[in-house]
Structure 1
Amino acid sequence: MRKIKYKKGRKVQPSVLEYTGIHKQIKTEMQLFVYDAEELTEFKEVSRTQFEKCIAPGKVNWLNIHGLNDIELVKSVGDYLKVDNFMLSDILNTTKRTKLDEYHDILFFNIKSLLPVENSDTISVEQISFLLKNGILVSFQEKRSDFFTHIRERIRTHSGIVRDKKADYLLYLLLDAVMENFYITIENEEDRVEEIINLSKASTQPEILEQIEKHRDNFNFLKRSIIPLRDSLYSIKSMKDDNVFNAIEHENYSFFSRLHQKCLELLEQIEYDMDSLDSASNFFFSTQNHKMNEVMKTLTVVSVFFMPLTFIVGIYGMNFDHMPELHWPYGYFMILGLMFLLLLGMIYYFKKKKWY
């Protein structure tokens, strides 16, 4: 699993633009949607020198970029929007945590998209960044994915209110689509945790504990990714209260409040799932202890059965000359019978006391 290194991330100077992700072989591509309530224009392939001419003032312009290897293209977009280098550096530096920045008339949002890896216990991570300014929304993805396919179809078919709203509502839809991946990831983790819990009730193999700890790490990783997103969404409320930043329309703040509420729900669910893992871990150790106690109990009972028999054998193994039982014709069989009756009596007594 490629973890987000919040404290030990690679240090990149803001003046030096360098992509630090793992998708270094992916070709950078741009798509542009220009629309309003009456008209839609879609540009499936836009070059670095063409996108400025395609942007239409007064309409919603969604520029989506796949791949971050073309630094000059990213820089040209930043120059067009007059974005400072520190924002562009945060877009290219994938070790940064989720954050929200408000700088003059630009809103910058950086989020981590998490999805489970098929047939694996690991989680894949992709950084997605957004720039919002004057009806222009730019989204930066490390690679091509289908996160926003349904949103594109809604724009094409004029479904819902997306064509009637401005770019801030589109930003809400994109963020909501990314957050859906958290639900998918948590649901996948919960299914695997349920399997582990059922397995822990039927087996006491040490591998079960390893799986429990692995999924506990995954939930902690999810929690670390959602908490800064929750804080960023909450900070949008302060923008509403300040009434200074105009990139988000006043009536659309409620949509971002819904995203903040979703973050709280996700964190509550993660806490519940981690409690379930703790219960599974405690049950595993309890089962181990119970099994060990049963083994010790069995060994103790067996040793108690043979202690008096060993005592009798020890007495008659001392080889004294004046032991009268040594000269009895049936002394050997009498002692064996006494030992057998003593053993049966102890078994009956222990059974009656329910000691085994």
Structure 2
Amino acid sequence: MRKIKYKKGRKLQPYNLEYTGIHKTKDSEMQLFVYDDLNLAEYEDFKVSNLDNFIEKQKTNWVNIHGLNNVEWLKSIGNYFKIDNFMLADILNTTRRTKLEESHEFLFFNIKSLLPAEHSDNISVEQISFLIKDGVLISFQEKRSDFFTHIRERIRTHSGLVREKKADYLLYILLDAIMENFYITLENEEDKVEDLINLTKKSVDPIILENIEKHRDNFNFLKRSIIPLRDSLYDIKSVKDDNIFNAMELDTFSFFSRLHQKSLELLEQIESDMGSLESASNFFFSAQTHKMNEIMKTLTIVSAIFIPLTFIVGVYGMNFENLPELKYQYGYHTVMGFMFLIVIGMIIYFKKRRWF
């Protein structure tokens, strides 16, 4: 079983940027949305040097980057937006925990997106980073995926509030989409756990216990992923109270409070599911113990039945010349009948005592 956990990353110096993820063959691409309530422009396949021609400061700008393996290209993006190497290192190092950094100039959010792996009980992990700076939201994804497809459609079709709001609201709906992946992953785990619980009531195959432990690891991994997210979302409240990050509008903080509440709900559900797994594990051991007790009871009853028969056979197997029944014409039939009656009598007695 592959244990799912945060890998212990190598210590990388900030000036030695290196992508530590597994998607090293994915092409690096950039997509730009520039919009407000009235207008929308969408750009793809352009060079970093052309960003000045497309970005409009008075509108909301979303730069979406897929693929992190082209480090030199990412450095050029970092130079354009004046992103320091420490932050670029956090973007490229996929072993880092979820974190939040904020100042007057920027807000940086680093998060893990989880989804069930196909044809496996494992969990697929992708790191996604967000940076709001000078009214521009930059998202960094390890590979092209459909996490945000519905958000792009909402922008294109002017659905909901997204075109009326700024980059901070866009960050909220992007984070909300990632949290929906947590719900999908959790629901998938719950379905498998429910099947395991039903299976423990029918079988005591040891593979069931192995699967229980595998899903317990998955729930622990989910928990370790959500706890830093919960703490980061709570920290956004301090941004509001301290008035540190000026680009975030006051009415947007309530949306992040909803995300914080969702993280608490996820953690509560995980605790409940882990309790169900613990009950399934206890039931498995109880069923296994009960089955062993039934086997031992059967063997004990069989042994108890044969004890008097063994005694009688032992008596008549002794080499004494003057045993009374040896010369009797019907001695064999009498002894065999007596032994048969003992067996029947003991079975009746055990039945009345409900020993089997």
TM-score tier (shorter):
over 0.9
Find out whether 1:156 has 2:147 as its counterpart. Answer: no
Counterpart in the other structure of 1:347:
347
Give the distance between the partners of 2:170 and 2:60, measured in 1 at CA.
9
Counterpart in the other structure of 1:113:
113
Counterpart in the other structure of 1:17:
17
Secondary structure at the aligned position of 2:131 is classed as strand
Give the distance between the partners of 1:2 and 1:144, measured in 2 at CA.
26
Shift of residue 95 of structure 1?
A: 0.7
Counterpart in the other structure of 2:328:
328
Shift of residue 44 of structure 1?
A: 2.2
Find out whether 1:266 has 2:266 as its counterpart. Answer: yes
TM-score normalised by L of structure 2: 0.97
Shift of residue 11 of structure 1?
A: 1.6
Which 10-residue stretch deviates more, 42-51 or 224-233? Answer: 42-51
Q: Is the 8 A contact 1:115 1:125 kept in 2?
A: yes
Give the distance between the partners of 1:137 and 1:2, measured in 2 at CA.
35
Amino acid at match of 1:147: F
Shift of residue 2 of structure 1?
A: 8.3
Q: Residue deviations 1:220-271, cap 9 Å, x none? A: 1111111110011010011111122213111110000100110011111111
Give the distance between the partners of 1:72 and 1:253, measured in 2 at CA.
35
RMSD value, Cα: 1.3
Counterpart in the other structure of 2:6:
5
Q: Is the 8 A contact 2:4 2:217 kept in 1?
A: no
Q: Is the 8 A contact 2:98 2:112 kept in 1?
A: yes
Counterpart in the other structure of 2:69:
69
Q: Is the 8 A contact 1:4 1:97 kept in 2?
A: no
Which 10-residue stretch deviates more, 193-202 or 221-230? Answer: 193-202
Give the distance between the partners of 1:350 and 1:249, measured in 2 at CA.
80
Q: Percent identity?
A: 70
Give the distance between the partners of 2:103 and 2:335, measured in 1 at CA.
99
Give the distance between the partners of 2:4 and 2:200, measured in 1 at CA.
28
Secondary structure at the aligned position of 2:101 is classed as strand
Give the distance between the partners of 1:177 and 1:156, measured in 2 at CA.
17
Amino acid at match of 1:5: Y
Amino acid at match of 2:248: I
Q: Is the 8 A contact 1:60 1:136 kept in 2?
A: yes
Q: Residue deviations 1:125-181, cap 9 Å, x none? A: 110000001210000000000111111111111111111110000000100011111
How many residues align? The count is 355
Q: Is the 8 A contact 2:147 2:178 kept in 1?
A: yes
Amino acid at match of 1:220: N
Q: Is the 8 A contact 1:2 1:124 kept in 2?
A: no
Secondary structure at the aligned position of 1:27 is classed as coil
Counterpart in the other structure of 1:91:
91
Give the distance between the partners of 2:5 and 2:311, measured in 1 at CA.
68
Counterpart mapping for 1:192-231 below 5 A: 192-231=192-231
Q: Is the 8 A contact 1:111 1:128 kept in 2?
A: yes
Counterpart in the other structure of 1:179:
179
Counterpart in the other structure of 1:312:
312
Shift of residue 81 of structure 1?
A: 2.4
Secondary structure at the aligned position of 1:114 is classed as strand
Secondary structure at the aligned position of 1:32 is classed as strand
Give the distance between the partners of 1:322 and 1:3, measured in 2 at CA.
79
Amino acid at match of 2:6: K
